[in-house]
Amino acid sequence: MDLQLSGRVAVVTGASKGIGLAVARTLAEEGAHVVAASRTASAEWPGKVVHVAVDLMDPQAPAEVVARAVEEFGGLDILVNNAGGPPPGVTLPRAGFMTPDDADWGAMFEFNLFSLVRMIRAAVPIMVERGGGSIVNVSSTIARQPGAINVDYGAAKAAVNQVGKAVAEEFGPQGVRVNTVTPGPVLTDWWTKDGGAAEVFAGMVGSDRDSVITEVAPTMMKLTTGRLIHPQEVADAIVLLASPRSGSTTGADFAVDGGSLKEL
């Protein structure tokens, strides 16, 4: 299926690994001009990807990224707000409402919500000037399943969902579509790295890292598929929503969650 992405200009945040890397690579393979925003570069990007080295905790960074896309390619058609998760230097999961303090809450919202708001704020005028565009925000199932784990992260992602709906409603008549993709647990280095989520969970439940990844987490999170999600599976949904082939889809939330969300 031709996704009609050839020649379109896309910005992907958090593009150096995991879901963001898969999105950047897939967009480039589909013929899009890709601007990858991340603190570090990736050797796995196709050669034509343009890297902007930024820390999205810096309030000036989003405007810098969008300006680079305009400078390199003349505009912006697609924005994938993928950057999120633990702020730099933070390890998740974090158990209990009382655990994060004010600074933890502030950093979590700065990285997961405010950077996204600033990216949208920078992108929308350019898209409107070009007659439209597509924004895809990456959320999390924890936004829809509140609990005692990662409360601050879940609250930030719930706010992301609300912002996406609001922007879709306001700017849809001007041709800007905004959708959300909600992944469940994705097999990235958030889970697999030394000291990552798998090791933290293993310490909580008296297991080991590999068992958490293959058995404990899928069971605990009620994954119907019985396994963590591959980044490419999420990327494929994001790229389809970014494509003009999804031209009548806006304000929607697509779960790529292994079946963990059971409610209607």
Query: Does residue 198 belong to any structural domain of this protein?
Result: yes
Segments forming the whole domain that contains residue 216: 187-228
Q: What is the mean pLDDT of the chain?
A: 96
Please state the pTM of the whole predicted model.
0.96
Closest CA to 26 of 174, 230, 201: 230
Please report the pLDDT score of residue 137 as a whole number.
98
CA-to-CA distance for 72 and 128, rounded, in angstroms?
A: 19
Please report the pLDDT score of residue 66 as a whole number.
98
Q: How far is residue 243 from each of residues 31, 51, 127, 184, 240, measured CA to CA in Å?
A: 12, 22, 14, 23, 5
Please report the pLDDT score of residue 103 as a whole number.
97
Query: Does residue 94 belong to any structural domain of this protein?
Result: yes
139 and 192 in a common domain: no
What count of residues does the chain have?
A: 264
Decide the pairing of beta strands 133-138 and 176-183.
Answer: parallel
Query: Does residue 263 belong to any structural domain of this protein?
Result: no
Please report the pLDDT score of residue 99 as a whole number.
96
pLDDT at residue 189 greater than cutoff 90: no
pLDDT at residue 160 greater than cutoff 90: yes
Least confident range of 91-100, 125-134, 173-182? 91-100
Share of the chain above pLDDT 90, in %: 87
Q: Which residue has 């992260």 as its token pair? A: 153
95 and 134 in a common domain: yes
51 and 148 in a common domain: yes
Query: Does residue 239 belong to any structural domain of this protein?
Result: yes
Query: Does residue 262 belong to any structural domain of this protein?
Result: no
193 and 132 in a common domain: no
Q: Which residue has 């924890």 as its token pair? A: 142
128 and 77 in a common domain: yes
| Structure confidence by residue, pLDDT tens digits, 61-79 | 999 999 999 999 999 999 9
pLDDT at residue 104 greater than cutoff 90: yes
Please report the pLDDT score of residue 106 as a whole number.
98
Query: Does residue 3 belong to any structural domain of this protein?
Result: no
Partnered with residue 182 across adjacent β-strands are: 255
196 and 160 in a common domain: no
Query: Does residue 1 belong to any structural domain of this protein?
Result: no
Q: Which residue has 């058995």 as its token pair? A: 215
Number of domains in the chain: 2
Query: Does residue 2 belong to any structural domain of this protein?
Result: no
- Give the pLDDT mean for 89-111: 95
241 and 119 in a common domain: yes
- Give the pLDDT mean for 149-162: 97
200 and 241 in a common domain: no
Question: Which residues participate in catalysis according to the annotation?
Answer: 153
99 and 200 in a common domain: no
Q: Which residue has 């890297």 as its token pair? A: 51
Please report the pLDDT score of residue 121 as a whole number.
98
pLDDT at residue 176 greater than cutoff 90: yes
- What is the CATH classification number for the domain harbouring 22? 3.40.50.720
Reported confidence tier of residue 175, pLDDT bands at 50, 70, 90: very high
95 and 60 in a common domain: yes
Closest CA to 134 of 228, 62, 230, 242: 242
224 and 239 in a common domain: no
131 and 28 in a common domain: yes
3-state secondary structure of 138: strand
